[in-house]
Structure 1
Amino acid sequence: MNTIKLPKIGVAKIDITPDYPIRLSGYGARKTETTNVVQPIWARCLVIIPPNQQPFILLCVENCGIPEHITETVAQRLKVEENIPRRHFTLSFTHTHSAPFVSGALETLFGQSIPVDHQARIDRYTVELTDKLVLVVQLALSKVEIGQLSWGLSSVDFARNRRDKRGPVDHDLPVMLASRKNGEPIAIWCSYACHTTTVAFNTINGDWAGYAMSELEAEHPTAMAFVSIGCAGDANPYPRGEYEHAKQHGHSVAEEVSRLMKTKLKPLNLDTMRGEISWIKLPFDEIPTRTEWEKRVKEGGAVGYHAEVQLAQIDSGQILPSHLSYAVQVWQFGQDLSIVFLAGEVVVDFALRLKNELGKDTLWISAYCNDLPAYIPSVRILKEGGYEGKTAMIYFNRPTHFKPDVEELVVSAVHGLLS
């Protein structure tokens, strides 16, 4: 007699709030450490085990940006310890600008070197966080139960284009629900394309995404909530500036997700679930000459410090990179749904183009996954220049901005993985 294998779901979360002073990431002007916690921050794990397959793992981390070296360390440990294929593992971060700075991300954010004692605490947190990310996956794997997945699509509207108030935005709010056979929710996952930059105080909190997850978990006590961020590179929340604004936006998301959960969601067939990942090369434009770097050093400030760092690399015998290694990942549920995971701060043009080319009714796009290497600009944004197109690269320790090829390379990679 054959036993029918049913899909299984597991969830877990772990507190990643430090109990010692630390610098926060996201804003270079904040150079003092903080111990002020307004809201705890968490790493959450969702495990999906389709019939006859190895588990799929989604990590949702409340941090500004997890660099590739942490993602790949966690992925390698999970491969060795839990036999999780790399293509089944995704690390998403909420991009809150109110969480600790980690080693290897936004390396030149502060426009000056970091004091030794500050760096020691950053390194300590980075090691502790990495260990906790492995642990929370193992906790979720230990608690799997039979479940089913469904999904739906709604919208909220607090994101605004921050380059042009009349510019493009993506207001889609895709929602995935994992539930028991009796309908009780196990996990609620949603995604919205908006920066988590409602507040800029020197305090630890999850910004609107943290408040959305907290409210959803209070509203649905049997479930764990997950928020990922879409192509929000050029989108900010409005209004902004106060904790009440962050709570208001979090409430907007939680309220709409809860409303959608009461409707008939589309079931997902896990028998057809598959995952793929590839790394492509995104080319940088022409690298400045040594004379140009020396000229920039004299400018001082963030530009000067960035130039100093580039010269130090050259003087140590390193060759400045000509390209960026960039992760593109997909999870597919047959013809029902394709989820695209893109690294970095991807601008909205990518989401709008991909949804137009592949169909928005079956496409979910999350950015801020697997790495925070840079802003990923479209051809339009590169032509316009400005922060997201060019000048932000100095905070990511990149030698220069990208060539216009990057849009086509990323879009083609997505098409290739989904074909």
Structure 2
Amino acid sequence: MYNFKDMKYVTKSLGLLLCLIVTLAISCKDQHPEKLKGGVALMNITPPVGARLAGHFYEAFSTGVHDSIWAKAIVLEQGNQKFAFVFCDLIGITRDISTQARKLASTATEIPLQNILVAATHSHTGPLFYGFQHTYFHNKAIADDGVDEHEKADYPDFLIHQIEKAVVKANESVMPISIEAGVGREDGLSFNRRYYMKNGTVLFNPGPLNPDIVGPAGPIDPEVGILLLRNAGSKDYMGGLTVFAMHADCIGGTKMSADYPYYLEQTLKKKFGQQFFSAFSLGPAGDINDVDIKKDQPIYSDSNTQKIGSTLGQVVIQAVPELKRITQPSFASFSSKILVPLQVPSRAQIDSADVLINNLYKVSQTGAYIRNAGGESGDFLKRVEMSKYLALKDQKPAVDAEVQVFRIDSRTAIVGLPGEIFSELGLDLKKRSPFENTIVMTVCNDRISYIPTIKAFKEGSYEVTNSIIKPGGGEMLVETAVKLLKEAKDGLK
């Protein structure tokens, strides 16, 4: 006959044993997470010589190739989680192009679309292939000549498939790796290009040695975000990602170029070997460039661009001993789309822009524009304002902006934001992030122009004139990113 009292103790003991087994299993899983894998690949996206150049408010054409421009893909894998990041040497990327590329890449690799990010490095010596100016010049060429000699091929279609191929190739090359993450610091390369003036105004790039300058109107972010990928069981680095907040608008000229990220790459290859894969992403740099107004020197030069890239490369190299290896990876992705209100030009503003723009874009005006481009001449800001009105005339009242967060481990997270985010917004995001190491990347998945702070909107100047969003849109993006970061951190508990 069963002794129910004894059975009660047996059942309780079995229950405790089962709990112990489960606890040990979870503990073992935590101590031995799925191994990391990674792959890299790049595809050439350099258009033919003669293509229109981006980064201007007049029509300019490439006259050669200083260095090829690329779509560079990194695929990271932990267990059933995969991320794909693509970095293109372009001034921007449109939502339509990035979405098509992400869909094709997702279908080909089975990486979820929300786990794929396509960013532009914001190079000002890449092709002009979208936006009002592109459409205007393209249509004008066809109307005048019956053909656009500067755009014989469909560059957006070419770009979409090159991005897809880069992700596919990177995915096919995944192998066991280790990841090292951290930050370096460089205080001497970047400058806030908005300045308080003695007359109470704020000016963008007010000119070197200008005696009317009081001081910068905003901060810089000197941090250099670093991820290095090492082949498992090897001392050799496969490649890495460098993130820095400064406009890629240093080299100038009319030859295609990735700008200073090219020289960053050359510096890292010299140190780590020619096989090293160097990707670059732009940090929050909407109001940051390389112009030191305390020095009377050319705004654009190859030598200074080389110095910038080499200096950044040395920052990465010197940071290597301080980087921390990801030993407990916990990959997870989080994303959210929010409606960011856009400015709505009046009918009168649009009609006025239609009349003025034809005169402002005349080739005969180019010389005058170039002479005035270093400051806020009426001609310069008029081009900016008129172009914005015409770009907005067919837009909806709000843009569907995507914010992405990728958790790497309990210390490190990557944020992807659209547009040219002001440095103050990026610094605020980092400060409020629950992660020790938060890497903020911008110009991701869509172009929504400049993203100033509410404070900057009140102060005006070039970036505000060129912004298409309403005041407060940048703060909305930051709030969304912080919310996703907290969600990512809470998921570890």
Residue aligning to 1:416: 483
Q: What residue is the counterpart of 1:7 in the other structure? A: 36
Contact in 1 for aligned 2:243/2:283 (Cα 8 Å): yes
| Amino acid in the other structure paired with 2:57 | G
Residues of 2 paired with 1:358 and 1:256: CA distance? Answer: 24
Residue 50, structure 1, aligned to residue 75, structure 2: no
Amino acid at match of 2:305: A
Whether 1:199 and 2:237 are equivalent positions in the alignment is no
Worse overlay, 81-90 or 237-246: 237-246
Paired with 1:128 and 1:184, the residues of 2 have a C-alpha distance of: 34
1:193-232 mapped onto 2 (5 Å cutoff): 193-221=245-273, 222-232=275-285
1:50–1:270 contact (8 Å) kept in structure 2: no
Equivalent AA in structure 1 for residue 228 of structure 2: L
What's the offset of the Cα at 1:111? 7.2
CA spacing shift, 1:83–1:351, aligned 2, 3 Å: same
Q: Aligned pair 1:160/2:191, yes or no? A: yes
Structure 1 residues 352 and 40: CA distance shift in structure 2, 3 A: same
Whether 1:367 aligns to 2:442 is: yes
Q: What residue number does 1:87 align with?
A: 114
Paired residues for 1:146-157 under 5 Å: 146-156=176-186, 157=188
Paired position in structure 2 for 1:126: 156
Contact 1:23 1:118 in 2 (8 A): no
Distance 1:6 1:413, change over 3 A: same
Q: Deviations over 1:342-383 (max 9, x none)?
A: 111111111111122226732111111111221111111111
Q: Take 1:110 and 1:162, find their aligned partners in 2: how far apart are those partners?
A: 30
Partners of 1:199 and 1:241 within 8 A in 2: yes
Partner of 2:461: 386
Gaps of 5+ in 1: 314-319, 394-400
Q: Deviations over 1:178-210 (max 9, x none)?
A: 112222101211100000011221111111112
1:291 CA drift (Å): 3.0
User: Cα offset for 1:20?
Assistant: 4.1
Shift of the alpha carbon at 1:309? Answer: 6.3
Structure-2 separation of matches of 1:405 and 1:383: 11
| Corresponding residue of 2:472 | 405
Residue 377 of structure 1 is matched in structure 2 by 452
Is residue 328 of structure 2 the alignment partner of residue 265 of structure 1?
A: no
SS in 2 for 1:370: coil
The answer on whether the counterparts of 1:294 and 1:307 sit within 8 Å (CA) in structure 2 is no
Amino acid paired to 2:302: Y
Paired letter, 1:6? K
Name the Cα RMSD after superposition. 2.4
2:65 partner SS: coil
What's the counterpart of residue 98 of structure 2?
71
Give how far 1:49 is off: 0.8
Residue in 2 that maps onto 1:16: 45
* DSSP 3-state at the match of 1:195: coil
Q: 1:236 to 1:282 in 2, by over 3 A?
A: same
**CA separation of 1:135/1:73 partners in 2, compared to 1, >3 Å: closer, same or farther?**
same
Structure-2-length-normalised TM-score: 0.75
Structure 2 counterpart SS, 1:43: strand
Alignment size in residue pairs: 397
Cα distance in 1 for partners of 2:471, 2:55 equals: 26
Distance of aligned partners of 1:306 and 1:380 in 2 relative to their CA distance in 1, 3 Å threshold: closer
**Higher helix proportion (structure 1 or 2):** 2
Question: 3-state DSSP class of the match of 1:206?
Answer: coil
Offset of residue 294 of structure 1: 2.5
Residue 278 in structure 1 maps to residue 336 in structure 2: yes
Report if aligned partners of 2:132, 2:387 keep a CA contact under 8 Å in 1: no
Is 1:338 matched up with 2:395?
A: no
**Residues 174/288 of structure 1: CA separation in 2 closer, same or farther (3 Å cut):** closer
Q: Is the 8 A contact 1:298 1:304 kept in 2?
A: no
Consecutive unaligned residues in structure 2, runs of 5 or more: 1-28, 196-214, 293-298, 361-382, 488-493
Paired residue for 1:397?
A: none
Q: 1:408: how far off?
A: 3.1
1:355 matched to 2:384? The reply is no
Pair 174,25 (structure 1): closer, same or farther in 2 beyond 3 Å: same
* Alignment partner, residue 166 of structure 2: 136
In structure 2, relative to structure 1, the CA distance for the partners of 1:381 and 1:148 (3 Å cut) is same
CA distance in 2, matches of 1:94, 1:122: 25
Paired AA for residue 73 in structure 1? Q
How many Å separate the matches in 1 of 2:271 and 2:390? 51
1:270 Cα shift?
A: 6.1
Deviation beyond 4 Å, 4+ runs, structure 1? 2-5, 109-114, 303-311
Letter in 2 for 1:175: I
SS at match of 2:466: helix
- Which residue of the partner structure matches residue 141 of structure 2? 115
- Partner Cα distance (1:109, 1:168) in 2: 33
Q: Distance in 1 between matches of 2:108 and 2:335?
A: 20
CA spacing shift, 1:5–1:365, aligned 2, 3 Å: closer
Q: Secondary structure at the match of 1:335?
A: coil
